[in-house]
Amino acid sequence: MNNNYELYKVFYWAAKTGSLTQAAKALYLTQPSVSHAIKQLESSFGITLFYRNSKGVAVTQEGAILYSYIEQSQILISRAEEKMAALKNLDSGELRLGGSDSLFKHYLLPYLEDFHQKHPSIRLQLNHGTTPEIIAFLKEGRIDMGVVRMPIVDPQLEVRESIQLSDCFVAGARYADLKDVVLSLDMLLQYPVILFSRNSRARMAITELFQSYGYKLKPEIEVGSVDLLIEFALKGLGISYVTREFVSKELEEGSLFEIQLDVRLPPSHVGIMTMRNMPLSSSASRFIELVR
């Protein structure tokens, strides 16, 4: 037995209203169409579901049992429709993002604040990690999108290019004698260098740059956050490799200064990753519109 859902819907409204006329109005059907649908349903079961009374129709004992089940399904369907509408209108749901601590703090924070103000009912879920970890999160379905440094080459991913970043070496007052001095890479390596963890895209890029000039970049200190890179440079523990945009405050106030090199450090770009051919949630689509 495989009755059409529309037959059950007609049965539900006829039983709920006790009137074939009211059922027809609720479903935008003609009364004969409602009567025909009920006859089809009764024929498929081989039992009578309604009997006529002075007010219209009423369910039989068998019809009452069927109604108890159909009513539950209609309630669930109505709730599902309400939930879908809420998700579409961003009255419910969540936004799951992946990225590094530094990109969340220095790049995404204003956008997250704006998004939260516009859609306070959307729950924010932030997953921190390195670029390989963020890619894994995305493929595992743990996040809707990832914000990472480019380049990213993966046929499963779609990457939208966002802002450009400039990396540089910075030092604090302890190395004030290096201000206005142009250093070669060889000269720079005579000082303690502080780098981010090995799996970071920025670390890979600067290591490859030194290798292209025939040098091996071996840090004196490795740290796991941009905040520590900045703090260690301020304390005079070495020369840190950081993103210029992330230390703009320290550079402006003079607590840090940029080390001048005789080679150009290439800029990098931030990319917004999503799974290729995978539809985005309403909240994720709206957030991408904000950060473009």
pLDDT tens-digit readout, 122-172: 889 999 988 889 999 999 888 999 999 888 889 999 999 998 999 999 999
Burial 225-259 (b: 16+ CB within 10 A, else e): ebebbbebbbeebbbbbbbebbbeebbeeeebbeb
pLDDT tens-digit readout, 59-100: 999 999 999 999 989 888 887 887 777 777 777 788 899 998
133 and 61 in a common domain: no
169 CB-contact burial (10 Å; exposed 0-12 / middle 13-18 / buried 19+): buried
pLDDT band of residue 1 (cuts 50, 70, 90) is low
Q: Which 3 state secondary structure label does DSSP give 53?
A: strand
- Is 25 within the bounds of a domain? yes
Q: Which residue has the higher pLDDT, 270 or 1?
A: 270
For residue 91, the model assigns a pLDDT of: 78
Tokens 């250093």 sit on residue: 183
Residues in the chain: 292
| Least trusted range by pLDDT, from 39-48, 64-73, 176-185, 194-203 | 194-203
Tokens of 116: 């939260």
CATH of the domain at 16: 1.10.10.10
Domain's final residue, options 26, 56, 88: 88
170 phi, psi to nearest 5 deg: -130, 155
- Is 187 within the bounds of a domain? yes
**Long-range Cβ contact pairs of 41-46 (< 8 A, separation 24 or more):** 41/3, 41/7, 41/8, 41/10, 41/11, 44/1, 44/3, 44/7, 45/1
99 and 24 in a common domain: no
CA distance 99 to 127: 7
pLDDT tens-digit readout, 93-132: 888 999 988 899 889 999 999 999 998 988 899 999 888 8
148 CB-contact burial (10 Å; exposed 0-12 / middle 13-18 / buried 19+): buried
pLDDT band of residue 2 (cuts 50, 70, 90) is low
Tokens of 289: 């519109």
- Is 227 within the bounds of a domain? yes
Tokens of 147: 């914000």
pLDDT band of residue 191 (cuts 50, 70, 90) is very high
287 and 142 in a common domain: yes
CA distance 185 to 44: 85
Please say whether the beta carbons of 198 and 275 come within 8 A: no
For residue 222, the model assigns a pLDDT of: 94
For residue 171, the model assigns a pLDDT of: 97
- Alpha helices in 89-238, H assignment, sequence order: 101-103, 109-118, 131-139, 185-188, 201-212, 226-234
- Is 142 within the bounds of a domain? yes
Domain's final residue, options 88, 112, 129: 88
CATH of the domain at 132: 3.40.190.10
Tokens of 65: 């049992």
Domain that holds residue 41: 5-88
| Number of Cβ within a 10 Å radius of residue 287 | 26
pLDDT tens-digit readout, 241-277: 999 999 999 999 999 999 999 999 988 899 999 999 8
CA distance 49 to 79: 26
Domain's final residue, options 32, 65, 88: 88
272 CB-contact burial (10 Å; exposed 0-12 / middle 13-18 / buried 19+): buried
Contacts of 41 (CB under 8 A, 6+ apart): 3, 7, 8, 10, 11, 49
Residues 187-204 have a mean pLDDT of 89
| Least trusted range by pLDDT, from 175-184, 232-241, 278-287 | 278-287
- Is 271 within the bounds of a domain? no
For residue 82, the model assigns a pLDDT of: 73
